Amino acid sequence: MNNRVYIFDTTLRDGEQSPGVSLNVSEKLEIAKQLARLGVDIIEAGFPITSPGDFEAVKAIAREVRGVTVAGLARTNFADIDRAWEAVKQADQPRIHTFIATSDIHLKHKLRMTREQVLQAAVAGVKRAKSYTADVEFSAEDASRSDPDFLCRVFEAVIEAGATTINIPDTVGYTTPDEYTEFIRNIMTRTKGIEKAIVSVHCHDDLGMAVANSLAAVLAGARQVEGAINGIGERAGNASIEEFVMALYTRRDRYGLETGINTEEIYRTSKLVSKLTGMDIQPNKAVVGKNAFAHESGIHQDGVLKERTTYEIMNPAMVGLSHSNLVLGKHSGRHAFRSRLVELGFVLHEDELNKAFGRFKSLADRKKEITDQDIEAIVENEIRKVPATYELAYLHISSGTTVVPTATVGLTRGEELLEEAACGNGPVDAICKAVDKITGYSCRLASWGINAITAGKDALGEVTLRIAENNRDKLYMGRGISTDVLEASARAYVNAVNKMIYEKNNQPDEK
């Protein structure tokens, strides 16, 4: 049997379904390009029929991200499949991923269909997809709670209809590793023609076993694993791509399997997804958490200093975690800055470099030492964003225990400087009200949070917030960084407003 496991990344589809996550087209495209650098085999770019925005995002990814299979999700009805094809047809390697539920609980309560009706719909959907592309994946939603006899019938029929990948998902995270191994083997043994297709699995983490179940599945013969960066997704999330890949590599003595993943891109990919989705990575998260390679115990520290492998089963450099001690400061020039960017894996266009270098010099005037983490934060803040209608020019704050907080804000729009002042319940509220007066939009602050992204008293603070127009439910996330919390808040608020304006001005028409 082939020892290659194909990695199907659904960060941009299932991952984006995480509560509170909403990515725009440019953010999805940025993540997709990084996923290609990471080396995933298939990018599930979205569910094209769900919205014009999702359709445009999938279409942009298919058009611009080369050298990787781009898939669009579709139910088995023809409208979904036709829309998916329109979105992915410009890809180097287009795939239509169609699905229908097969468990009796879904048939009775959700679909209200008989088994025969589901079987017919599955076959018709695959045939329709096959008329567009040779690469068709079929998923039996809630397969792990489906009757194996019926599942085998469905898989035989869709393989005969042209499906090239068969997905056996644990949609609700219900199964266990030993049970799943037996289940997959049973299906593979009893399904006629299964050798014509790649067997895939898609595991959810409701009981915390998504990665373990995925590993169990490849032992049983599955050769495609679906998951998301940082394990994000519906409810408790999906199998974490980075955990699965590193488990397969670290325990290659047991599995004897390989992937096409460039592991040195793992950390950077994880950070990018966290930044753009606004979903923080828990400190003790395996592989990419900030404590994953940290040692506080004296015994552990002593052991690692003598021999790293005493307490580290993975080399942090292998996942792209930088431990460089190179420090840049206010006297550093563009060449040193550019060289450090290249070492960190950032390749910027000239205008992007100019903006990042300007922020670097500004920060260096206020912060004694600039670390790699500072540089990463600057770059991500400067170039991972939509075109800015407004930019922060200056900020003045008057606040204290005996005065009403007041903010005076200056924003630039092109060459024009716009200035307003406002009072608020606190300095952040005052800033937001002043920005609203300038832009003419009335927004409410739905959430606000801050994290120290570098160490020390002069640490960079990153503010992440979400806003909505007062008469709408749609949320827009903004991020801002600075050594000053209020400046970071202002930058984050302006960033969110710019996203809202950009989406309003570029909303595709419903077709």
Are residues 209 and 264 both part of a single domain? Answer: yes
pLDDT value of residue 510 = 44
Separation of alpha carbons 397 and 430, rounded Å: 9
* Confidence category of residue 457, pLDDT binned at 50, 70, 90: low
Q: Which amino acid is at 276?
A: L
Helix, strand, or coil (residue 369): coil
Are residues 365 and 419 both part of a single domain? Answer: no
Q: For 302, list phi and psi in degrees, rounded to 5.
A: -60, -45
Are residues 345 and 273 both part of a single domain? Answer: no
For residue 286, tell me if it sits in a domain.
no
Place of tokens 């953010």: 27
Q: Is the pLDDT of residue 164 over 80?
A: yes
Burial of 89 (0-12, 13-18, 19+ CB in 10 A): middle
Which two tokens mark 314?
């993975």
Mean pLDDT over 87-97 rounds to 98
CATH no. for residue 204? 3.20.20.70
Are residues 103 and 218 both part of a single domain? Answer: yes
For residue 63, tell me if it sits in a domain.
yes
- 380 vs 251, residue with greater confidence: 251
Are residues 81 and 107 both part of a single domain? Answer: yes
Annotated binding site for Mn(2+): 14, 202, 204, 238
Closest Cα to residue 275, out of 383, 429, 387? 383
What's the CA angle centered on 210, arms 135 and 163, to 5 degrees?
Answer: 15
> Considering 381, 415, 439, which residue would you say is the last residue of a domain?
381
Are residues 318 and 434 both part of a single domain? Answer: no
Is-above-0.85 flag for pTM? no
Are residues 240 and 107 both part of a single domain? Answer: yes
Q: Where are the alpha helices (DSSP H) in 39-97?
A: 52-64, 78-88
CATH no. for residue 400? 3.30.160.270
Largest CA distance in the chain: 79
The answer to whether 206 and 174 have CB atoms below 8 angstroms apart is: yes
For residue 316, tell me if it sits in a domain.
yes
Sheet holding 416-423, edge to edge: 391-398, 406-413, 416-423
For residue 333, tell me if it sits in a domain.
yes
Annotated binding site: 14, 202, 204, 238
For residue 290, tell me if it sits in a domain.
no
pLDDT value of residue 325 = 41
Torsion of CA 262, 6, 11, 208, to 10 degrees: -100
Helix, strand, or coil (residue 421): strand
pLDDT value of residue 183 = 98
* Count of structural domains, the chain: 3
Place of tokens 């205008």: 351
Separation of alpha carbons 360 and 364, rounded Å: 6
pLDDT tens-digit readout, 47-82: 999 999 899 999 999 999 999 999 999 999 999 999
Which two tokens mark 183?
């289940």
Closest Cα to residue 14, out of 4, 23, 3? 23
What is the radius of gyration, based on Cα positions, of the chain?
25
Separation of alpha carbons 436 and 301, rounded Å: 51
Q: Is the pLDDT of residue 362 over 60?
A: yes
DSSP assigned state of 331: T
Are residues 86 and 232 both part of a single domain? Answer: yes
Separation of alpha carbons 259 and 223, rounded Å: 10
Q: Is the pLDDT of residue 181 over 70?
A: yes
The answer to whether 226 and 10 have CB atoms below 8 angstroms apart is: yes
Range of the structural domain that residue 362 is part of: 298-381
Helix (H) / strand (E) element for 162: namely none
For residue 493, tell me if it sits in a domain.
yes
